[in-house]
Structure 1
Amino acid sequence: MKHLEGMEHICNILFGSLHHCVVIVDEQGIITFMNERYYEFLGTSASRAVGRHVTEVIENTRMHLVVASGEAEKANMQYIRGNYMIADRVPLYNNGYIIGALGLVMFRDRKEWAEMNQHIKTLMLELESYQKKVEQLNGTSYSLHDALSVSPEMEEVKRNVRKVASSDVSVLLRGETGTGKELFAQGLHKLSERSMKPFVKVNCAAIPGDLLESELFGYEEGAFTGAKKGGKPGKFQLADQGTIFLDEIGDMPLNTQVKILRVLQEGEIEPLGAQGPRQLDVRVVAATNQPLEQLMETQQFREDLYYRINVISFTIPALRNRPEDIPLLSKFMLQKVTKRLGKRITAFDQQVLDRFLNYSWPGNVRELENTIEASVHLAEGETIQLSDLPERMADKRAAGGEWETKPLKQVLAEAEKQAIVQALKEANGEKREACALLGIGKSSLYNKIMKYGLD
């Protein structure tokens, strides 16, 4: 960082004898200064730390993210070398431009910190236990922290989501298939005052139109032939006091759109066969990968409903538009998949990462994860090579040298087929062992073998 070069002497005067750990990075996230206290704690030195990216020296650091966002982080928990630390991080500005960031890790003498750290660990374990119970009760498994990113576009979306999470305003999430709209919907819910109440998802495209109304609003006993004794609560009733997530709302039939509008306007529903309306308190978060404005022009989507759900709208960027996130996501997904499958694969060959960066990712983050899982099944060494990638990643167009974009259904089918072939190969044809490797049931495996003609 040219603005901070030559200031090492001043930094040493200011922070050299400070009891806390101090680190300074430049606008690229490169370490330019650390005090002796931090070197001692990390077991490193200036010659091994200064000049390297902060993520290579300090585990679980967020210094580079503070530089990217320009927003300070106060009293943030950080896990370093088996200990929970309390860290402050602030961006550094010069003439209105970010030139780096300063981080301060605070603790007192080691004995006092060890006692405090043990207490924090106990509390964190209790919190994790309670969080799992809450997730089971309210139907959420993601938070905004799961939307890993360093790209300015994605960080901006996350900042804005945090701003509106505490309100009850209706939110419309836009984005291509696989960008993570449900993750953001769950993140909104977890950050809201309704976080301890239910989060209920409805896939409007997956439920037949003639059943959608009863699924959403429920029915009373005897409402129609075959109705359950005692009736059945609808999704809106199940989400009372909480959040309902209407995924693929562009596929909702017009007659159902009218009733959704009533819920938003009046805060009430009327189950099939009911004598009158029932009051509800539900926050609505909708999502679509379709241009609703065009659907309104063709009378396929109600204009009044559009303005009700589109009070605040967020567009989640496609993966191809934030390539700087691909290495971060790839590393995280590799660790996640190998841990689940019990395989020791630690890295990607650089050619693989280059291929990832040059691929268009029509299925976005979901396709990236499926690609990595298929590659893990196919890989024989500890590093994923080009030869381990699904076939579509090797296909090139005759002209221009660009990789061919295929429909997501075809992409997923190819990855699934390759994973099954590799599992059967590793299991020497033993289908029971192949089921264990794939994490699926025996009947499911046989169906897929027949589907892909592998018998």
Structure 2
Amino acid sequence: MKNFINSKEFIAFCHSAFDNIPIAIDFLDKDGRMIYINKAFSDFLQIPIKNMIGKLVTEINPTSKFLLALNEKKADIAVRHVFPNDREAICHRIPIFDNNGELMGGLGMILFEKVNEMKEILKKCEILDKNLTLYKNEIARLNSAKYTLSDIIGNAKPMTLCKKKVRKIANLNLNVLISGESGVGKELFAQAIHNESNRAHMPFVSINTSAIPENLLESELFGYEEGAFTGAKSGGNIGKFELANGGTIFLDEIADMPYYMQAKILRVIQEKEIVRIGDNKPIPIDIKIISATHKNLEKMVANNKFREDLYYRLNVLNLEVPPLRERTEDIPELSENFLMEFNKEYGFYRKLSKNAMDILKSYSWPGNVRELRNVLGKACVNADNTIITANDLPANLFIDSIVKDNKNDSGFYNIIKKVEKQLIKNALTQSNNNKAEAARILQIPRMTLYRKIEDLKIDI
């Protein structure tokens, strides 16, 4: 069978394909004779084309290693070579075989006409690689889990059990649903799970599904291509799931996710891939999903407000964070920690009085740890002295504690009297029984204070 490389059809193809391109290319037959060379290569060698066709490559270039590549049937890729005119270049020497594996000839190509060109390209690639690494590190830093288990305050039994479970489930590559009332610190536990896992060095991406407008949620989660919709950024945008690839995504307030989006999240979990808006190319992802809610998802499933199939996909492992009222022994340590934070940030030096601490410990805390932090922040501002007293705390804390202590005598006027009595006693204690000072603290006339002390039978 005739060697195709020696055919007129192949030579004609070479002329039509390679004559006018700026890349230096030549073809040799299986014996190493020049059968085609384009103008770019001829100009580089400074030898007319007609003086090279039909000659052995070593007659044209005595130092050529092309014959060796053909004999060994092995390609030389990106090798440095010095030509007879002392020009230096980076070349390819590639043997060509037919379908039966028989040698037909070879392709020669100059990749870079100067070694410095290759060095410059490699240098730019190195810089780009370094920049890419920096950007990846910056993305990982911006999307990192700050809190670990050691940052979560609490040694009460419910918290100890909760932390123990975190250690148990963290390294399991299974989705986790964190349940608990608002303000208990569900995101802190999500970050702790991530930091305890073997994904700790990868991104942790948090998104509150209830805080993003419904029409933007899909693009935030899955990203989009340029021109996907009106207002889309030039170059498109990466989504949260893609950003979290290799690490963990935290879907807070998952119960508020629109029903149509629940189906899309289910598909991501099942297929382990996402598709950007405006594209049809799936992107594989490897992520751990931690979701959280303060709502009863089982009840929502029963009322067809949350997909049952998604619920079971998310609730593979469950972590229930206890409310603050079930671990009141942690309140002193939490309070001290928050006061240290406020003192450092605002230049205060506040401490809690025993009476104030007793009130904090007796309150039911419907807003949990978040409410405790807010109460102490306001108390720091309200306090006129170093010591935060009961009078610096919100009135609802007194009412709550008094109602709890007087369950059998909780009429409106009785509660009001008990609150008044407690406030006056606190003011007198703070003023060392100085009535004028106590009246000033309570912001009432001195005679009104005298009358109330008598009416309420307050011992001084």
Residue 139 of structure 1 deviates from its aligned partner by 2.8
Partner of 2:32: none
Q: Which residue identity does 1:250 align to in structure 2?
A: A
Q: How does 1:96-245 map to 2 (within 5 A)?
A: 136-245=141-250
Partner of 1:306: 311
Residue 323 of structure 1 deviates from its aligned partner by 0.9
Determine the C-alpha separation between the residues in 2 that align with 1:399 and 1:328. Answer: 25
Change (3 A) 1:275 1:133: closer
Confirm or deny: 8 A CA contact 1:246 1:286 kept in the other structure.
yes
Whose radius of gyration is greater, 1 or 2? 2
Note the alpha carbon deviations across 1:359-404, whole angstroms, 9 max, x for none: 111110011011111111111222110111123323459966679x
Q: Which residue identity does 1:235 align to in structure 2?
A: K
Q: Which residue identity does 2:358 align to in structure 1?
A: D
Q: Which residue identity does 1:201 align to in structure 2?
A: S
1:249 pairs with 2:285: no
Q: Which residue identity does 2:208 align to in structure 1?
A: N
Determine the C-alpha separation between the residues in 1 that align with 2:316 and 2:140. Answer: 28
Partner of 1:344: 349
Partner of 2:426: none
Partner of 2:294: 289
1:279 pairs with 2:284: yes
Residue 158 of structure 1 deviates from its aligned partner by 0.3
Q: Which residue identity does 1:257 align to in structure 2?
A: Q
Determine the C-alpha separation between the residues in 1 that align with 2:188 and 2:319. Answer: 13
Confirm or deny: 8 A CA contact 2:140 2:202 kept in the other structure.
no
Residue 144 of structure 1 deviates from its aligned partner by 1.3
Confirm or deny: 8 A CA contact 1:135 1:141 kept in the other structure.
no
Residue 167 of structure 1 deviates from its aligned partner by 2.2
Find the partner of 2:375 among 355, 371, 378: 371
Note the alpha carbon deviations across 1:259-282, whole angstroms, 9 max, x for none: 111111111011111122110111
> Which secondary structure state, in structure 1, belongs to the residue aligned with residue 375 of structure 2?
helix
Note the alpha carbon deviations across 1:262-319, whole angstroms, 9 max, x for none: 1111110111111221101111000000000111111111011001110000110000
Residue 147 of structure 1 deviates from its aligned partner by 1.2
Partner of 1:413: none
Note the alpha carbon deviations across 1:393-433, whole angstroms, 9 max, x for none: 23459966679xxxxxxxxxxxxxxxxxxxxxxxxxxxxxx
Q: Which residue identity does 1:187 align to in structure 2?
A: A
Partner of 2:20: none
Determine the C-alpha separation between the residues in 1 that align with 2:138 and 2:258. Answer: 36
Determine the C-alpha separation between the residues in 2 that align with 1:382 and 1:135. Answer: 42
Determine the C-alpha separation between the residues in 2 that align with 1:295 and 1:327. Answer: 37
> Which secondary structure state, in structure 2, belongs to the residue aligned with residue 381 of structure 1?
coil
Q: How does 1:18-167 map to 2 (within 5 A)?
A: 136-167=141-172
Note the alpha carbon deviations across 1:58-115, whole angstroms, 9 max, x for none: xxxxxxxxxxxxxxxxxxxxxxxxxxxxxxxxxxxxxxxxxxxxxxxxxxxxxxxxxx
Change (3 A) 1:392 1:283: same
Q: How does 1:278-427 map to 2 (within 5 A)?
A: 278-345=283-350, 347-395=351-399
Confirm or deny: 8 A CA contact 1:216 1:234 kept in the other structure.
yes
Q: Which residue identity does 1:352 align to in structure 2?
A: A
- What do you get for the CA RMSD once the two structures are aligned? 2.1
Change (3 A) 1:279 1:402: farther
The percentage of counterpart residues that share the same residue type is 46
Determine the C-alpha separation between the residues in 2 that align with 1:264 and 1:402. Answer: 52
What is the aligned length?
271
TM-score (norm 2): 0.56
> Which secondary structure state, in structure 1, belongs to the residue aligned with residue 194 of structure 2?
helix
> Which secondary structure state, in structure 2, belongs to the residue aligned with residue 338 of structure 1?
helix
Determine the C-alpha separation between the residues in 1 that align with 2:342 and 2:406. Answer: 28
> Which secondary structure state, in structure 1, belongs to the residue aligned with residue 291 of structure 2?
strand
Change (3 A) 1:400 1:243: closer
Confirm or deny: 8 A CA contact 1:134 1:196 kept in the other structure.
no
Determine the C-alpha separation between the residues in 1 that align with 2:192 and 2:299. Answer: 29
Q: Which residue identity does 1:383 align to in structure 2?
A: I
Determine the C-alpha separation between the residues in 2 that align with 1:396 and 1:269. Answer: 50
